[in-house]
Amino acid sequence: MLVKFTFKNYKSFYEEQTLSLEAGPDDQMPSNVTPVDRALMPQSAGLLRTAAVFGTLSSGKTNVLKALDYMKRVVLMSASRVRIVSQCEPFAFIEGAVAMDSHFDIEFIENGSFYRYGFVIRNQKIVKEWLFRRNERMTPLFKRDEYALKVAGLSQNNARLLSPSPQTLFLTTAGFLNLDFNKEIGDVMNWFTKLTVCLAPSQEDLFIYTQKEDYLPEAVKIMQKADIGIDYASLIHGPGYADIETAHKVYDADGNVIKVLKARLFQDSQLYSEGCTRLFCHLAHIVKALDTGSTLFINDFPSMLSVFFTSGLLSLFSSSARNPHGAQFVITGNISPLVDKAFRRDQIYLTTRDASCQSHLIRLSSIPGVRKTDSYEKKLIESSGATQHRLG
């Protein structure tokens, strides 16, 4: 489960920002919180099962997800031929920012252990990297900077022999070494592998339905509640190909059914709305996250659905019966009445952009004067305008 993600100097964010899923001292909507072992997180109120990042157009909400997605891609691809480290995008509108540190740090729980992992990129090179695990206290498993690599259980001379190139994470290569903490390396890599950041739906999302035979029927059950005329769907797939076939009744002028028309979601895209296509793609990720207990981010999710249907989808993650493994679901979208129907204060984030084009990520519960009885939608709108005016 994700605890918090901290980053700075990436895309429209110059200053350090934190997206935390650690629950605050709020007694509203207790089902939205998963309890956490106090040995892993002392004095913790638990972790949020759902959260949302709201903001106006070009305020930076998508870039929060892009920062997390970039961190994941560096973890999984730094040892490949893809020069992923050189693709870091520092803030463009402050002189010299391109040569400053871009910082990525994440805390999460995997396989019963608490981890903190991160790295720093400067001038297209990895200049710092660290991995900590909490037992009774935070213990470093390895730390790396421009000058040295320190590895638990190894002398400094032996650790020096293992130092990777400035374009490669030590985390990526450590799994191939016989280290005392290989299990922990596996936990970290497994968590990043399961993490899903869906920036835009695509036909490739449909391959998720091939992983388990009950994924598509479960998605159709959920989709029926959206009342968009989809009651049946089958998966058509082969090597490198996947599509969804649905059946539609064709009526004569008197309203009698004369035949059934079958069509495919992407092959016959002109017969489907964009919202229907997006929903099939997103539901693939949702049913898998609920099944595997993973953390899922979906960009621009509420805008394509009714507030009531989106609220119902979010409630699947708040249900212990439907979400027994503690999956988490974070969405981005425009400010809407959804904020008052599905979330408490600590689940809501606001992105704003100031006169110098810097984006800022603000937790609603951190804004003074926001009470449980307030309209969160109204407070977000007020805070968005006030914050942009103050920062400008």
φ/ψ of residue 377, rounded to 5: -60, -45
- Considering just the CA atoms, what is the radius of gyration of the chain in Å? 23
**Please, which residues bridge with residue 104 across strands?**
7, 119
- pLDDT given at position 20: 98
Place of tokens 């035979």: 213
More confident residue, 386 or 237: 237
Of 387 and 99, the structure prediction assigns the larger pLDDT to: 99
Q: Flag whether pLDDT at 303 surpasses 80.
A: no
Q: Bigger pLDDT: 392 or 252?
A: 252
Q: Is the pLDDT of residue 302 over 70?
A: no
Q: What is the Cα–Cα distance from 359 to 354, expressed in whole angstroms?
A: 7
- Contact indicator for 72, 39 with CB cutoff of 8 Å: no
Phi then psi for 303, rounded to 5 degrees? -65, -20
Residue 391: pLDDT above 60?
Answer: no
Question: What is the rounded CA–CA span in Å between residue 196 and residue 290?
Answer: 12
- Residue 122: is its pLDDT beyond 50? yes
The per-residue pLDDT for 385 is: 66
Residue 298 burial (CB < 10 Å; 0-12/13-18/19+)? buried
Predicted confidence band at 307 (pLDDT cuts at 50, 70, 90)?
confident
Average model confidence (pLDDT) for the chain?
91
User: Which pTM value belongs to this model?
Assistant: 0.93
**Residue 80 to residue 350: CA distance in whole angstroms:** 36
State the pLDDT confidence band at 239, using cuts at 50, 70 and 90: very high
- CA distance readout (Å), 381 to 67, 385, 386: 25, 6, 9
Residues 146-199 pLDDT 10s: 999 999 999 999 998 899 999 999 999 898 888 889 999 999 999 999 999 999
Reply yes or no on whether the pLDDT at 119 is more than 70: yes
Q: What is the token pair recorded at 277?
A: 């296509």
pLDDT, average across residues 50-60: 93
Residue 386: is its pLDDT beyond 70?
A: no
| Structure token pair of residue 123 | 């001038």
The domains of the chain are located at 2-51+63-197, 201-273
* Cα separation, 369 vs 379, whole angstroms: 9
Sign of the CA dihedral 163, 165, 167, 171? negative
Tens of pLDDT, residue by residue over 62-92, are: 999 999 999 999 999 998 888 999 999 999 9
Is residue 195 within 8 Å of 294, Cβ to Cβ?
Answer: yes
For residue 279, the Cα-to-chain-centroid distance in whole angstroms is 17
